Amino acid sequence: MKRNDILKKLLIKPKKLVLKEGTYNHNDNAAVYTNADESDFSYLLKLAGFENAANVVAFEGVDNAYVLSIGKKDPQIADFSFCDDEEYYLETCEDSLVIAAKTVEGMLLGLKAYIRMSEELDVMPQMQIKDRPDIPFRAVHVCMFRPDDGTEKEESSPEYIKKMMKAAAISGYNHIFVEFWGMFPYSLDYAHWPNAYSKEEVKDLISYAMDKLHIRPLPQQNMTSHAAWSRIISRKHTVLDQRPDLEDMYIPGGWCFATENPKTKEFQRLLMDELIDMFRNPPYLHTGCDKAFGFGSTEEDRTMSADVLLAKHLSTLNTYLSEKNVRMVMWADMLYSSMDALYWKCREEIVDTLPKNILINIWTHNNPGKKWQDAAFFEDKGFETVYSPFMNEESIESMIDVCRDRKSHGMLQTTWHKPQSSVPYVVLSGALQWCGEKPAKELVDNFSSIWYK
C-alpha cells in the first residue's frame, strides 16, 4: 500500500501521513479509554463503528494532551506537542487506534477524520497522521423557511438541517449558523409563523449539533432589513401579516425595521435574548443587515441621514450583544461591496465609526478573483472578516485562497434556499478550507451520498 494511493482516496489530505507495515484491524467491541471525561462523544464513536462507545473507561497518565485510545489502555506516543487547539495526532496499529490533541475539540476532529477515512479506505493501513486545518473559523449557513410560503425552495425542516449538520461536522467544519425565517419559537406569538418549529424541536436540533456532533450551532436573525423574515418573493410578512397594528416598528412596506422607535429596540432585545438563551450563550450571533434599501424612511428616522442611522443602529446592536459576551456578525454589503450591492449603501467613511469587534461577513455569489478588494477594505481598517461564497466552485476556491493568503478569520459557506443542491459545494468548501487541495468530484459525491442522509 503506497502513500500516494492512500491520499488519492481521501477527501481531506492530511499534512503529515507516515505509513507503516501492515493493516489496522477494526474491532467493533474494542475497549475505549480516554482522559477527556468532560465530554460525551459516544455518538461519534458509534459513527466510527465502535459498539462499546457507551462503556468508555477513564485513564490517567497523560498531562499535556487529551487522548482517545481504542484497544490499548496505555498508549505510548512520543510526540505530544501541538501548534494549535485543532491540531491532532492519529495513529493506527494492528489492534489499536490512538488520537491525541491539545484540546478535546482537536481530539474530536481527529475522531471525525477517522470516521471519514473508515468509509473512504477499503483497508485501513497502520499509519501515523498529524493534521490541522488551514482556516480557523469554518462555518456553514443554513436557513429554516416556512414550508408553505408559496416559493420554490428545497427542504429545510429540522430533519434535513440535521443531515447538513452531520455532513458539515464530518467534513471538518466547526460552526453552523441557523437562520430562522419566521420559524423560531419566540415567546411573542406574532414574532413567528403559526406553524413555526417548537422549542423542543429547536432544542433538539441544537443538542444534536453540540452534544452529539460537537459542532457549534450559532443563531442568525436579521435585525435590520429582511424584517419580514420571509423571502421577498413570497410577499409575506411574519409580524405585520398577523399584527398590522405594529406597522410603526417598520418602514412603510415592512422591509426594514424603524430602528429609532423604542418599541423596535425593545422588540429586538427580546429576540436576541431568546436566541442567546436557546443557543446556550453562543460566542457569535449573526444579525444579517444586508440589502437594507429603504432604510430610515420613517418620520422618527428622518432626524439624521440613513448612513448615520445605520451606523448608530449597528453600534447599538453590537453594544447589547457585547454586554452578553456574544460577538456580532453582519453581512457587509450595505457598508461596502465591489460586486453585489447595486442599490443604496453607506458612504465608505461610515465604516470608520463602527466598533472593530464586529465580525464582518463579506460575500458575493460571483468569483471575486485572487485580489478581492472587499477583504482588503475591511481588514485594512482593523476588522476581522469571514467570506461567504454560494454554489460556485470558482468563487469557493478564490475566496478560500484569499482567506488563506490574508490569514483572515475564516469562511461561512452559504446554502440559502438550495440546501440539498448545495451539499457538494459545502463538502468541497470544507475540504479546501482544511487542506487547500481540491478533491476529485467522485470523492465529493461519495462523501455526500454517505453523510448527507
- Could you read off the pLDDT of 330-342 as tens digits, one per residue? 999 999 988 766 6
The C-alpha cell that represents 40 in the structure block: 460525551
Pair 225, 353 in one domain:
yes
**How wide is the angle at C-alpha 90 spanned by C-alphas 10 and 49, nearest 5°?**
70
Query: Which one of 116, 131, 146 terminates a domain?
Result: 131
Pair 248, 368 in one domain:
yes
Where b means 16+ CB within 10 Å and e means fewer, 35-65 reads bbeeeebbebbebbebebbeebeeeeebeeb
Instruction: Give the dihedral sign, CA 9/12/13/19.
Output: negative
| Domain extent for 230 | 137-451
Contact by Cβ (8 Å): 216, 175: yes
Contact by Cβ (8 Å): 164, 438: no
Pair 90, 160 in one domain:
no
Pair 320, 198 in one domain:
yes
What beta strand segments (E) does 314-414 contain?
A: 327-331, 359-363, 385-388, 410-414
Pair 226, 323 in one domain:
yes
Hunting for cell 412596506 — which residue is that? 253
Query: Which one of 96, 131, 166 terminates a domain?
Result: 131
Pair 238, 255 in one domain:
yes
Pair 26, 44 in one domain:
yes
The C-alpha cell that represents 117 in the structure block: 477515512
Of 183, 56, 161, give the one whose Cα is nearest residue 107. 56
Hunting for cell 422607535 — which residue is that? 261
For strands 410-414 and 137-144, give the pairing. Answer: parallel
Domain count for the chain:
2
CA distance 102 to 156: 36
CA distance 237 to 337: 27
Pair 272, 376 in one domain:
yes
Give the distance, in angstroms, between the CA of residue 348 and the centroid of all CA atoms in the same chain.
Answer: 28
The reported pLDDT for the residue numbered 39 is 74
pTM to 2 decimals? 0.97
Taking each helix axis from N to C terminus, what angle separates 104-120 and 158-170, rounded to the nearest 10 degrees?
A: 90
Pair 289, 269 in one domain:
yes
Which residues of the chain have a pLDDT value below 50? none
Pair 144, 127 in one domain:
no
The reported pLDDT for the residue numbered 304 is 85
CATH of the domain at 381: 3.20.20.80
- The stretches of 11-136 forming alpha helices (DSSP H) are 42-47, 104-120
The reported pLDDT for the residue numbered 79 is 63
Q: What is the pLDDT of residues 260-295, one digit of tens each?
A: 999 999 999 999 999 999 999 999 999 999 988 888
The reported pLDDT for the residue numbered 353 is 97
Query: Which one of 100, 131, 162 terminates a domain?
Result: 131
Pair 145, 47 in one domain:
no
**Phi, psi dihedrals of residue 277, rounded to the nearest 5°:** -65, -45
CATH of the domain at 9: 3.30.379
Pair 113, 153 in one domain:
no
Of 112, 77, 106, give the one whose Cα is nearest residue 93. 77
